[in-house]
Amino acid sequence: MRLSAENEVMRLDALHRLELLDTPSSEAFNRITRMAAQIFGLPIAAVSLTDRDRQWFKSRVGGDHCSIPRERAPCTQVAETTDFLAIPDLLADPYYADSVLAGQGIRFYCGASLVTREGQGLGALCVLGTEPRETSAEEVAALKDLAAMVMQQIELQHAFGRIDPLSGLPNRTQFLEDLDDDAQERPGERRLAVLVDLAPPEQLSRGLRVLGPGFIDAMVRQATPLIRSALKPNRVYHVASTQFAAIIQNLSDEEHYRAKLEESLQGRFADAALRPIASLAVGMFPLVLGETASADVLRVAYGAALDARASKALVSVHSAMSDDIHRRSYRLLADFADALTAPDQLTMALQPRIDLRTGECLSAEALLRWDHPELGGISPAEFIPIVEQSPLARAMTDWVLDHSLGLLSAFRSAGFNGRFSVNISGSNLSEHDLAARVSYCLSKHQLSPDDLELEVTESAAISENGSGAEQLAALAAAGFHIAIDDFGTGYSSLSYLQTIPADTIKLDRSFISDLEGNPRRNRLVRSMIGLFSEQGYRVVAEGVETTAVADTLREMGCHEAQGYGLARPMKPGRMLEWLSARHASSQSESSAPQLIAGWGPFQPN
Ligand code: C2E
Ligand code: MG
Ligand code: MG
C-alpha cells in the first residue's frame, strides 16, 4: 500500500520536525537496537527512519551503511503501512527478491513500526539475517515492545527538556549529549564549535527595563531563523536564553560559516527597538573530539564570543592564549574567595602621600596585596579587575575597609594624625548600603568620617545608570572625603565632574611621567592643576618617580604627590618606622623642611 502524496508530505513533515535525521547515533537508541539483535540471535538490527528517498539508520548493530535507498526497502513498507512485517526469505518474495538488501546477501527481515501518537509512521525497528528464518509469536511481541520503547525515547527527547519551547531548537542538554555521542563514535576527529551570543548581560538587563520581559522572546524569535539559515545544514542548538550553538564537521568550512554568519546576522533585526540592544558576537572553537569535555566546549566558545565583542569584530576564533588567560582569571576568582577567609594571603600595603609645600605626610593610600599560596604575589592590576566584575567585589571592599581602618586605628595610637585613602570599585557604587557599611566599619574602629578618603575612578563615578553619582552623594553626605582616582584616563567632561561631590583629584600617573621631556604634557598638567585648584579641588599627582618631577609639580601649584620617588608602598610596620625616621630627622634639622626627609604630623607617644 502506497501513501497518497498528501499523506506522504504529512508523514515526512512529522519526521523532519523531530530533527532526528543525520544526528549522531546515541547510546539511548543503541541499547535498544542491541537488545533486538540479541533476542533474535541475529547479527544486524537497526532503528531505520524513512526519509524522502532513503532509509537512514539512527542506530544500528552490524551492517556497514548509514543508509540505503528507499526503493524496495522493507522498512519503507513498515513506515507506510505502520504494520508489523516479517519476510522469512527475501529471495522467495517476488517484490523484495531483487531489492538492495537481497543483493547484499540478506535473506531474513523482520520490522516493527515506529509510529507517532498522531499515527504517522517514521520507519521501523528491524532485525536482519543472512539465512531464511521463521518468527515466533514471542519474538514478534518483543520487537513490538522494543519499537514502542524507541518511540518513547524519541518522544522523551522531544517533549521533555530537550527542545526549547520558544525557539523549537534542541537545548543545551541535547547539545552536550550529541557531542558526547559524537566523541564516543569518532574520537580524535576535529570539529568546529560555534556559539552565537545575541547580547551581553548588561544590555539584556537594560532592555528588560526599557522594553519589558517580552523583549528577549522577540529577539530569540527573530534570531532563530537567521542563525539556522546561516549555519545550514548543521543542527543549531539553543544553549542558553540568548545563546545558540552548533558543531561543524569540517574545520575547513570555518571561512564559509564566518561569511554566512556575518551576512545573515549583521544588522538584520527587523524590529527597530531591538536593533540597538542586540549586540551579536560569535565565538568559534576548533576542538578534537574526546579531548575537550563537552561542558568546556561551550565555555571556551563563549570566551571567544566575548573576545569578539571586546574587539568589535562579529566573529572571533578561540586562540589557546586567550583560553589560558580566561583559565587563569577563572582560577584567580575561585581562589580569591578562599583568600578572603585565609589568615595569611591578603594584606594591606600603605603608600604615603606628601604635601608638596610643607613636606608633611598627611595621608596614605591603602593598597591590597595578595600572596597566592601557589602562584605567589599577584599584582592588583591583574586580580582587582577580575574580582571587581564579580559578586566578590563587595566582600573584597569590606575586607579592605575593615583591615585598613584597623590599621589606621593602630597608627593613631602610635601618633599618626593623618588620613587613610581606600579604593572603592565601581560596582560597589551600586550597593545601596555602602555608606551604611562604611559608617559601621568606622565606628567599629572608633574613627570618624574625616579619617577616611574613598578613591573612585572617574569612569566608576560616571556609571551609565547614574547609581554611581547617587551613592557618591550619599557617601559625601555621610562626611567621607572623596577622591577621583586616575583622573585623565576616562572621558568625563569638566561639567559632569562638577556633579560629583569629590574634594580631591588624583592626576593619573600617565600624565606625570616624562613631565620634563614633554612640553605639551607639561603645559597640560600645569593648566589642569590651575583649573582644579581654582575650582576648590585638592590636586594630587600620582606616579611621582623623581624629586625633579616633585619640584616641578610644587612649582605648578600641585598640592600633594604620591610615587616611588617619595616612598614606595610598604608594609604597615615599615611605614611606622618610616614615619618615625622622618619625625626624628625633622626634629634634628634646623633648616626648612625638605621634601624627602621632611617632617609629618607624626608624634610618637
Ligand atoms: P591606584 O589606586 O591608582 O593605585 C596606585 C598604583 O600605582 C599602585 O599600584 C601603586 O603601587 C602604583 N604606584 C605608586 N607610585 C608609583 C610610581 O611612582 N610609579 C609607578 N609606575 N606606579 C606607582 P598597585 O598597588 O599595583 O595597584 C594598582 C591598582 O589596583 C590601584 O591603582 C587600584 O586601582 C587597584 N587597587 C589596589 N588596591 C585596591 C583595593 O584595596 N581596592 C580596590 N578596589 N582597588 C585596589
Ligand atoms: Mg587609588
Ligand atoms: Mg590611581
Q: What is the pLDDT of residues 24-36, one digit of tens each?
A: 888 889 999 999 9
Does this chain's domain 5-159 share its CATH topology with 348-588? no
State whether the beta carbon of 352 lies less than 6 angstroms from ligand 1.
Answer: no
Looking at ligand 1, which atom is closest to the CA of residue 564?
18
Distance from residue 454's CA to the centre of ligand 3 (Å): 12
Q: What is the model's pLDDT at position 164? A: 86
Q: Are strands 452-457 and 419-423 parallel, antiparallel or unpaired?
A: parallel
Looking at ligand 1, which atom is closest to the CA of residue 565?
18
State whether the beta carbon of 488 lies less than 6 angstroms from ligand 1.
Answer: no
What average pLDDT does this structure show over 523-527? Answer: 94
Q: Under a CB-based contact definition with an 8 Å cutoff, are residues 408 and 453 in contact?
A: no
Burial label, 344 (beta-carbon count in 10 A; 0-12, 13-18, 19+): exposed
Distance from residue 442's CA to the centre of ligand 1 (Å): 23
Distance from residue 24's CA to the centre of ligand 2 (Å): 55
Cα–Cα nearest to 11, from 82, 109, 112: 82
State whether the beta carbon of 592 lies less than 6 angstroms from ligand 1.
Answer: no
% the chain with pLDDT above 90: 57
Least confident of 396-400, 577-581, 584-588, 595-599: 595-599
Query: Cβ neighbours of residue 233 under 8 Å, at least 6 residues apart?
Result: 22
Q: Under a CB-based contact definition with an 8 Å cutoff, are residues 124 and 147 in contact?
A: yes
From 3.20.20.450, 3.40.50.460, 3.90.1300.10, 3.30.420.40, which CATH number describes the 348-588 domain?
Answer: 3.20.20.450
Task: Tell me how far apart the alpha carbons of residues 555 and 360 are, in angstroms, rounded to a whole number.
Answer: 17
Distance from residue 340's CA to the centre of ligand 3 (Å): 23
Query: Cβ neighbours of residue 535 under 8 Å, at least 6 residues apart?
Result: 498
Looking at ligand 1, which atom is closest to the CA of residue 349?
25
Looking at ligand 1, which atom is closest to the CA of residue 393?
44
- Largest CA-CA distance found in the chain, in angstroms, rounded: 123
Q: What is the model's pLDDT at position 589? A: 62
- CA–chain centroid gap for 96, Å, is 57
Looking at ligand 1, which atom is closest to the CA of residue 545?
18
pTM of the model: 0.60
Distance from residue 429's CA to the centre of ligand 1 (Å): 19
Cα–Cα nearest to 540, from 564, 561, 557, 521: 561
CA dihedral 265, 270, 273, 274 (to 10 degrees): -30
State whether the beta carbon of 451 lies less than 6 angstroms from ligand 1.
Answer: no
State whether the beta carbon of 384 lies less than 6 angstroms from ligand 1.
Answer: yes
Q: What is the pLDDT of residues 394-417, one digit of tens each?
A: 999 999 999 999 999 999 999 999
Q: How does residue 591 score in pLDDT terms, banded at 50, 70 and 90?
A: very low
Phi-psi region of 543 (alpha: psi -120 to 50; beta: other; left: phi over 0): left
Q: Under a CB-based contact definition with an 8 Å cutoff, are residues 45 and 61 in contact?
A: yes
Cα–Cα nearest to 285, from 236, 244, 320: 320
State whether the beta carbon of 506 lies less than 6 angstroms from ligand 1.
Answer: no
Q: How does residue 594 score in pLDDT terms, banded at 50, 70 and 90?
A: very low
Q: Under a CB-based contact definition with an 8 Å cutoff, are residues 281 and 197 in contact?
A: yes
State whether the beta carbon of 543 lies less than 6 angstroms from ligand 1.
Answer: yes
Helix H segments across 186-286? 201-211, 214-231, 254-265
Q: What is the model's pLDDT at position 444? A: 97
Q: Which residue has the higher pLDDT, 9 or 276?
A: 9
Domain spans in the chain, listed from the N-terminal domain onward = 5-159, 172-318, 348-588
pLDDT over 50 (residue 232): yes
Q: Which of 454, 542, 549, 568 to mutate to test the pocket of ligand 1 (most atoms within 8 A of CB)?
A: 542
Q: What is the model's pLDDT at position 395? A: 96
Q: How does residue 387 score in pLDDT terms, banded at 50, 70 and 90?
A: very high
pLDDT over 60 (residue 451): yes
Q: Which residue has the higher pLDDT, 65 or 359?
A: 359
pLDDT, the chain, mean: 88
Q: What is the model's pLDDT at position 465? A: 57
Q: How does residue 293 score in pLDDT terms, banded at 50, 70 and 90?
A: confident
For the chain, helix, strand, coil in percent to 5 are 45, 20, 35
State whether the beta carbon of 377 lies less than 6 angstroms from ligand 1.
Answer: no
Q: Which CATH architecture has domain 172-318?
A: 2-Layer Sandwich (3.30)
For domain 5-159, give the fold.
Beta-Lactamase (3.30.450)
Task: Tell me how far apart the alpha carbons of residues 329 and 332 are, in angstroms, rounded to a whole number.
Answer: 5
Q: Which residue has the higher pLDDT, 311 or 407?
A: 407
Dihedrals φ, ψ of 351, to 5°? -120, 120
Strand extents, DSSP E, 1-40 = none
Distance from residue 456's CA to the centre of ligand 2 (Å): 7
pLDDT over 60 (residue 531): yes
Minimal-distance CA residue to ligand 1 atom 26: 380
What is each CA distance from 413 to 409, 519, 528, 566, in whole angstroms? 7, 46, 38, 25
Which ligand minimizes its atom distance to the CA of 487? 3
State whether the beta carbon of 503 lies less than 6 angstroms from ligand 1.
Answer: no
Q: Which of 423, 458, 482, 514 to mutate to test the pocket of ligand 1 (most atoms within 8 A of CB)?
A: 423
State whether the beta carbon of 226 lies less than 6 angstroms from ligand 1.
Answer: no
Q: Which residues are found with C-beta within 5 Å of the ion, ligand 2?
A: 423, 455, 485
What average pLDDT does this structure show over 415-441? Answer: 94
Q: How does residue 493 score in pLDDT terms, banded at 50, 70 and 90?
A: low
Which ligand minimizes its atom distance to the CA of 455? 2
